[in-house]
Each structure stands twice: as C-alpha cells, then as structure tokens.
Chains A and B, each alone.
Chain A
Amino acid sequence: GNSVTQMEGPVTLSEEAFLTINCTYTATGYPSLFWYVQYPGEGLQLLLKATKADDKGSNKGFEATYRKETTSFHLEKGSVQVSDSAVYFCALSDWYGSEKLVFGKGMKLTVNP
C-alpha cells in the first residue's frame, strides 16, 4: 500500500539555521506530493506541492523537489525564523478517482531566537 515516512523530531533550531526535513514515500502509482504545515491552534495548511517528477514546489522560502528515483520529497529552508515553529506533514495522493491524502507522522519544529 501507499505510505509516507518522514523525520520525526521534535527538532529545535536557532533562528537563521538551515532546515531539512526528510520525506520518503512508497506508492503503487504516480503520486502527487504535498507538504502541509500546522501552526499552533490552527488547521493544516498547504505549504507546497509537486505533481510530477523533478517538479519543485516552493512557498515562503521553503522548497521541495519531487525525486522519483529516490522516492523522496525533502523539505528545505535556508534560514528559518521563529514564525516557522510548527508541525510539518509530508503527504501524498495516489490514484485518479481517489482523493485521499496519506500522511507521514508529522515533525514538530521549534525555532528559538
């Protein structure tokens, strides 16, 4: 079946540090890949997505590249801010005709000033 494995954390970084959150997936088809973020007290918000191999999603300084050969979609940001403190979820959707998202466990990031 389909699954997503991501770094679990929690992770604490200092402001302006480099961030990488690893995400790998297993899928029977050709999935679309997503990163969602959950800020304290809020719902999951789409951060970025990619729908085909070698696509790069980007938003708010975050980037992730769809790597079919390594079945990965790692999230990176060059310089984190305190406001990036949140829980980050990697997810995929696989089949045409099925809209369900399959999520990783989520990783809590805390950025200290």
Chain B
Amino acid sequence: EPEVTQTPSHQVTQMGQEVILRCVPISNHLYFYWYRQILGQKVEFLVSFYNNEISEKSEIFDDQFSVERPDGSNFTLKIRSTKLEDSAMYFCASSYKGGKGETQYFGPGTRLLVL
C-alpha cells in the first residue's frame, strides 16, 4: 500500500539554524499538508499546498516557515531560523482531493529538537 514517507526521523539543531524537513507524498496525490505536535499538546495545522502554491496557512506559519515542492515527488518544510519553541513532531500529509470529507494520509513524522 502506498504511504507517505518523511526524513529524517529525528533532527537536533541549534537555535537560529535553518532546518529542512522532507516528505515524499503518495505519488498520485495533489494536496499536501504540514502539521505539528508539540509534546503534550494537540496536533496543529500549519499549511496546505495545492497546484504549487499555498492554499491555506495558520497563524503559526509565519515568515520563518516556507514550503516547496522542488520536484515531482518531494515536499519540504523549511524553518529559516529555529527557535526553542519549534521543538515538536512535524507530520506531513497528502490527499488525492481537497475538501472537508477527504482522507489525509500521514507520514510517520520528524521529531525536531531545538537546543
């Protein structure tokens, strides 16, 4: 069964450094998402991406964050200058269609620790 993959599984970085989290969505999916979960808190939506542009973003997704689909298979989340509070589990997801009833398929997550 096709699945979403994410790399790396764990990343440790120093505050102020740039990180890039990578995701390979399911190959025929058209909608892509990033979520994050700070330890002990809810899974929170960051951004959705369709047709090579951001379709929606949350208040969390400020100028320090960016997303890109650099080729036909990868979907990346860049954090330009990491802060301690960016430490979280980051989940990538994809879906074939958009819309409120559609199933999103999640990757296993990247655990980011900012020191």
Q: Give chain A's interface residues, CB within 8 Å of chain B.
A: 31-32, 34, 36, 41-46, 49, 51, 89, 91, 93-106
Query: A44 and B31: CB pair below 8 A?
Result: no
Query: A98 and B91: CB pair below 8 A?
Result: no
Partner of B43, one of A41, A98, A103: A103
User: With A43-B4, A99-B95 as given contacts, are A51 and B42 in contact (CB-CB < 8 Å)?
Assistant: no
What 20 new A-B contacts, CB under 8 Å, besides A98-B48, A99-B56?
Answer: A32-B101, A36-B106, A42-B108, A43-B6, A43-B106, A44-B91, A46-B103, A46-B105, A49-B103, A93-B101, A94-B100, A96-B100, A98-B100, A99-B33, A100-B33, A100-B56, A102-B45, A103-B42, A105-B41, A105-B42
Most buried by A among B48, B93, B106: B106
Within 8 A of A (CB), among B73-115: 91, 93, 95, 98-109
Task: Report B-chain residues with C-beta under 8 Å of the C-beta of A96.
Answer: 99-100
Least distance between A9 CB and chain B CB atoms (Å): 13
Q: Does B55 reach chain A (CB closer than 8 Å)?
A: yes
Most buried by A among B4, B104, B109: B104
User: With A43-B91, A45-B106, A89-B43 as given contacts, are A101 and B35 in contact (CB-CB < 8 Å)?
Assistant: yes
Q: Is the interface of A mostly helix, strand, loop or mixed?
A: loop
Least distance between B111 CB and chain A CB atoms (Å): 11
User: With A36-B106, A100-B48, A101-B35 as given contacts, are A95 and B100 in contact (CB-CB < 8 Å)?
Assistant: yes
Query: A99 and B43: CB pair below 8 A?
Result: no
Partner of B45, one of A41, A45, A100, A105: A100
Query: B101 and A43: CB pair below 8 A?
Result: no
Complexed CA–CA distance, A11 and B106 (Å):
24
Query: B100 and A31: CB pair below 8 A?
Result: yes
Complexed CA–CA distance, A101 and B34 (Å):
11
Task: Report A-chain residues with C-beta under 8 Å of the C-beta of B31.
Answer: 99
Partner of B55, one of A31, A43, A99: A99
Least distance between A51 CB and chain B CB atoms (Å): 4
